[in-house]
Structure 1
Amino acid sequence: MLDLQSLPQTKERRYHIIWLTYCTHLKFFEDARQATRCILDNGRVPIVVGGTGLYLRWFIYGKPDVPKASPVITSEVNQELAELQRNDDWDTAVRLVVKAGDPKAQFLAVNDWYRLRRSLEIIKSSGSPPSAFRVPYDSFREQGECSVAEDSESSDMNTYSDGMEETSSSDLDYEFMCFFLSSHRLDLYRSIDYRCEDMLLGRDGLLSEAQWLLDTGLHPNSNSATKAIGYRQAMEYLQRCREQGGQSSAAEFYKFLFEFQKASRNFAKRQLTWFRNEKIYQWLDGSKPLETILSFINGAYHDWNGSLPVPEHLRMSRDISNRRDEKHLKSYRSRNRHFVKGEDCSHILNWISKTQR
């Protein structure tokens, strides 16, 4: 596991299942549920923290009833798609999967080879496309929509209100309390930019981990780790430095930093869109003092009726932009606090000249 972006555990902070070199949705579901059972058996409460929406959806609602591919089928699918992926021939690969029996493959995000490969595995394992199988989340979502429609007819409720009551959890195998912490987008983007800068500071920063990945023979965008935001941009930057004999200008460094920050902000925007549609989460204002947030969550946990309302000062609307944000976001520019002038990155350029030849 790469330490920097995952904030590894300390003596005061015990984590579970973070030391995984590669984690599929299924493996995460199985390992996370096993860890949950162990924690509950020890009389403690599991706290699941993370930002990968689909993994959390599986954890809460359960895994889809799709067949697991045999090693033979997995090998067969890899052989069929390997050369197409090496040649970046995404369109031909999509046509192959559509012809095999999954017309929805054409709507996958470009270069989402994992889902394309999985679709072909499911077709070869069952003779049916992924859409033919039950997805637990979809059934809960449909129940929630029906419930809201009925409530609307009886009480003139025209819109969702923030809160977990929007999604019935009576049929789930655990009682989940879900919170989403955010802030106004302008403030969020500023904090993301600062976090990107912080990850480049120090001897063991992001560039050191990207160097290690390159030294192991990996290439940017070649697996889950090297596709990760931050690692991909850092690996591409160091790769260019190596091609130039271990040299980089300040302008090239700042271009890399700009791309890293922009990709991180875009990812945050996609996360907001995802969680805006996850009705089981209560939205809290993450800019408030940590003690205030934890006090409310602790109070909500001990409120056995599960009806503790979010106080006004902690409430965050799912539409977190305001007029001020909208105006400034149109012309948003990163405003660094560590890397401002050309000489601010001189120590990084010196490190590159010594290590990337």
Structure 2
Amino acid sequence: MTLPAPEHLFFVCGPTASGKSARALEIAAELDGEIVNADAFQLYRGLEVLTAAPPPEDREKRPHHLYSILSPDQPVDAMTYLRLVVPVIEELLARGKTPIITGGSGLYLKFLSHGPSPLPPGEPTLRAELDAAPLEDLVTSLQALDPVEAARTDLKNRRYVSRALEVCLLAGVPCSTLRDDWEAASSARAEKLRGILVSRPRPDLHDRIARRTRQMLDGGAIQEVATLRNAAPGLEKAIGYGEIRRHLAGEIDRPECESLINAATRQYAKRQDTWFRREHWLKEDRHGI
């Protein structure tokens, strides 16, 4: 799969509740662009309140793509997302529009901005064989097959050694070669990428999270979860889903449900902020703050 040229894209990233959607609308107007979703849970239909998907009035201002397109029982991962998003971007570019990629799912954004990792997925039979072998044997094999990777791996960490050796055996080339080639290509793309990191002071962000949680629970999220059947495994990880399920089962009351969602959202926002700040090509944006 050929990735779109990085200079033709514009990314609007940031932690949950930071105001990405509103900022994306402004930038879409400035760049004659259309908004493309990069949030894993906003791909699902029937959960627009729970996932804080853009409301209808925002979607009327500029075209939005890849929102509410999957049924809740459809599994999705970063590679699936990439196969969905590339044709959408190609169509926008063919019409002379700038794709404004916005969302908080770091891995989905990373696959689009830098390309998917070239490392092969694990293979159960081989993994079982490696798990059964003594660590010393794994280290010896890795040093023989890929001395470069062995030299930069913590050889006391069985998981790291086993994974590096597994990649060598599955790919048929040194793990270090795959990593280094991908890093070089990734760095070359990063030089041409355009995007912003919507940033807010932590107290302000926490206030926004609390307000949105209250609005979500008042606005129909409980009903969405109550009517949901056969959710895909990944969807069950959506913040609010498990807490609302517990509330519906009578395990927790509404105030505790709200408090738990707030706490989980704050923790998630912190992880998102850490992830995005590692992407040094993103320019910090405090527009309107």
Do these two structures clear the TM 0.5 threshold for a shared fold by scoring above it? yes
**1:267-296, CA deviations, whole angstroms, 9 ceiling, x for partnerless residues?**
1111111112110100011543xxxxxxxx
Contact 2:118 2:182 (C-alpha < 8 Å) held by counterparts = no
Displacement after TM superposition at 1:33 (Å):
2.0
Residues 1-357 of structure 1 mapped to structure 2, 5 A cutoff: 1=44, 2-4=47-49, 5-8=51-54, 10-18=59-67, 19-20=69-70, 21-67=74-120, 77=124, 98-99=131-132, 106=159, 126=171, 133-134=178-179, 138-139=183-184, 171-172=188-189, 175-202=192-219, 205-213=220-228, 216-218=229-231, 223-240=233-250, 252-288=253-289
Contact 2:190 2:281 (C-alpha < 8 Å) held by counterparts = no
Contact 2:75 2:234 (C-alpha < 8 Å) held by counterparts = yes
**1:9-61, CA deviations, whole angstroms, 9 ceiling, x for partnerless residues?**
53333222231343211121232222111100011111000111121111111
Aligned residue identity for 1:260: I
Partner of 1:299: none
Partner of 2:99: helix, strand, or coil? coil
CA distance in 2 between counterparts of 1:119 and 1:232 reads 35
Aligned residue identity for 2:282: Y
CA distance in 2 between counterparts of 1:137 and 1:54 reads 15
Residues 229 and 179 of structure 1: CA distance in aligned 2, closer, same or farther (over 3 Å): same
TM-score (norm 1): 0.50
Contact 2:200 2:286 (C-alpha < 8 Å) held by counterparts = yes
Aligned residue identity for 2:64: Y
Displacement after TM superposition at 1:128 (Å):
8.3
Aligned residue identity for 1:63: P
Displacement after TM superposition at 1:172 (Å):
2.4
CA RMSD, 1 decimal:
3.8
**1:274-333, CA deviations, whole angstroms, 9 ceiling, x for partnerless residues?**
112110100011543xxxxxxxxxxxxxxxxxxxxxxxxxxxxxxxxxxxxxxxxxxxxx
Partner of 1:240: helix, strand, or coil? coil
Displacement after TM superposition at 1:199 (Å):
0.2
Partner of 1:179: helix, strand, or coil? strand
CA distance in 2 between counterparts of 1:28 and 1:269 reads 24
Aligned residue identity for 1:17: L
Aligned residue identity for 1:207: I
CA distance in 1 between counterparts of 2:181 and 2:110 reads 9
Partner of 1:278: helix, strand, or coil? coil
Partner of 2:24: none
Greater shift in the superposed pair: 185-194 or 119-128: 119-128
Aligned residue identity for 1:43: G
**1:152-210, CA deviations, whole angstroms, 9 ceiling, x for partnerless residues?**
xxxxxxxxxxxxxxxxxxx32994311011111111111111111110113xx111121
CA distance in 1 between counterparts of 2:182 and 2:245 reads 36
CA distance in 1 between counterparts of 2:131 and 2:87 reads 36
Partner of 2:25: none
Aligned-residue sequence identity (percent) comes to 25
CA distance in 1 between counterparts of 2:241 and 2:77 reads 19
- Unpaired runs of 5+ residues, structure 2, are 1-43, 143-154
Contact 2:191 2:281 (C-alpha < 8 Å) held by counterparts = no
Contact 1:234 1:256 (C-alpha < 8 Å) held by counterparts = yes
Aligned residue identity for 1:51: G
Bigger Rg, which one: 1
Residues 262 and 176 of structure 1: CA distance in aligned 2, closer, same or farther (over 3 Å): same
**1:199-242, CA deviations, whole angstroms, 9 ceiling, x for partnerless residues?**
0113xx111121123xx255xxx71111111112112222335x
CA distance in 2 between counterparts of 1:60 and 1:42 reads 21
Contact 1:40 1:46 (C-alpha < 8 Å) held by counterparts = yes
- Give the aligned length: 214
Residues 232 and 37 of structure 1: CA distance in aligned 2, closer, same or farther (over 3 Å): same
Partner of 2:98: helix, strand, or coil? coil
Contact 1:183 1:286 (C-alpha < 8 Å) held by counterparts = no
CA distance in 1 between counterparts of 2:158 and 2:261 reads 29
